[in-house]
């Protein structure tokens, strides 16, 4: 008789819990109108360009995607002014994060470092890989103590994760501070990679040019010990297509195809994303939507706007419970 022997790291793992769908919320709470905010999906939906491209690209759904997704990688390289060899695409940025951990960290020996709380995929995938996770709490105002994060790093640390803008606070660490962290890591721990997750960077500033004040990628000067993560799930409204991309160092980028899942990105997803432009994420409609949300939320007693970070913190549950009784 077979006896199931799950690895201890997996047996003790808490699974990632996604936000409930609108249909689930309606059924559970008996609501007729639901505004979903839990998963940070783009409420504007897909753009007219995406609708048009999807209508034609879906005809390729019966075929496997082209190996290596060269058209998408070349389009992203042109948009971000880097070489195509630097671009890696994946089934969401989650897949790329997982590949980095599996490539760089030896189970039972190495560690990764991140904040608490953070994007849960960082600690979950590290634990799946049998890698130690070291975490430092955010400051009371949700800002980062990068010096304290650096203090957790030692010779056996292989990855440090920093999300900017952070989720859910919207906090953006000063770009100079992120560069200083990369410099200190490079000088003291040359085998440690700093992963800067810029999934929400399209929402920092009011124009693509403004991003250069916050983004290592947009600044055009990426330190050689830094990997950048981006996604099509947020500002582009393509969460359902599951498509992310990253810019690790070239050596890692050339090795990743050896461990990636076969055809992890669908042909329609790759074709659609290759037609988009980064500037399209900075649409007037999005900026207008931000202003509308802020105007309505600041009327709630629990909303706390921050001019510094272009973020609003709001206690949702008290308002939800009063409305749902």
Mean pLDDT in runs of 10 for the chain (325 residues)? 83 78 90 81 77 78 78 84 86 89 93 94 92 95 95 97 89 94 96 94 72 86 92 79 81 71 74 66 52 59 47 46 34
End-to-end CA distance of the chain: 52
CA pair distance 321, 5, nearest whole angstrom: 43
pLDDT at 112: 98
pLDDT at 194: 97
pLDDT at 295: 62
- CB count, 10 Å around CB of 167? 16
pLDDT at 206: 65
CA pair distance 115, 138, nearest whole angstrom: 6
Q: Are 288 and 296 in contact (CB under 8 A)?
A: no
Residue carrying structure tokens 């409204």: 237
> Cα 217 vs. chain centroid, distance in angstroms?
14
CA pair distance 119, 140, nearest whole angstrom: 18
State the number of CA atoms in the 13 A half-sphere of 280 facing the CB: 16
CA pair distance 322, 309, nearest whole angstrom: 29
pLDDT at 307: 46
Q: Are 80 and 278 in contact (CB under 8 A)?
A: yes
88-90 and 244-247: which strand pairing? antiparallel
CA pair distance 291, 273, nearest whole angstrom: 27
pLDDT at 111: 97
pLDDT at 67: 76
Q: What are phi and psi of 99, to 5 degrees?
A: -65, -40
- The helix-helix angle for 267-274 and 48-57 (nearest 10°) equals 140
């Amino acid at each position: 008789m077979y006896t199931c022997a799950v690895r201890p790291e997996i047996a003790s793992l808490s699974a990632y819990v996604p936000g409930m769908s609108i249909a689930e919320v309606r059924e559970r709470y008996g609501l007729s109108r639901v505004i979903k905010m839990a998963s940070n999906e783009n409420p504007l939906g897909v753009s007219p360009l995406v609708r048009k491209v999807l209508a034609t690209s879906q005809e390729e759904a019966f075929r496997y995607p082209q190996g290596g997704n060269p058209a998408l990688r070349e389009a992203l390289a042109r948009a971000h002014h880097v070489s195509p060899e630097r671009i890696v695409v994946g089934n969401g940025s989650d897949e790329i994060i997982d590949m980095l951990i599996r490539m760089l960290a030896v189970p039972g020996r190495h560690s990764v470092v991140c904040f608490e709380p953070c994007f849960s995929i960082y600690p979950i995938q590290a634990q799946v890989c049998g890698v130690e996770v070291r975490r430092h709490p955010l400051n009371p105002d949700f800002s980062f103590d990068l010096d304290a994060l650096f203090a957790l790093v030692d010779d056996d640390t292989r990855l440090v994760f920093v999300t900017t803008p952070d989720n859910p606070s919207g906090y953006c660490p000063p770009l100079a501070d992120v560069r200083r962290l990369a410099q200190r890591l490079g000088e003291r721990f040359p085998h440690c990679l700093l992963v800067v997750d810029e999934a929400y960077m399209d929402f920092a500033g009011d124009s693509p040019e403004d991003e250069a004040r916050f983004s290592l990628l947009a600044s055009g000067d990426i330190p050689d010990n830094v990997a950048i993560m981006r996604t099509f799930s947020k500002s582009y409204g393509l969460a359902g297509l599951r498509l992310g991309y990253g810019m690790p160092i070239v050596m890692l980028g050339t090795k990743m195809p050896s461990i990636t899942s076969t055809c992890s990105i669908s042909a329609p997803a790759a074709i659609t994303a290759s037609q988009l432009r980064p500037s399209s994420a900075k649409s007037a409609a999005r900026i207008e939507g931000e202003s509308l949300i802020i105007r309505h939320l600041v009327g709630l007693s629990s909303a706390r706007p921050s001019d510094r970070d272009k973020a609003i913190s709001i206690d949702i549950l008290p308002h939800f419970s009063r409305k749902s009784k």
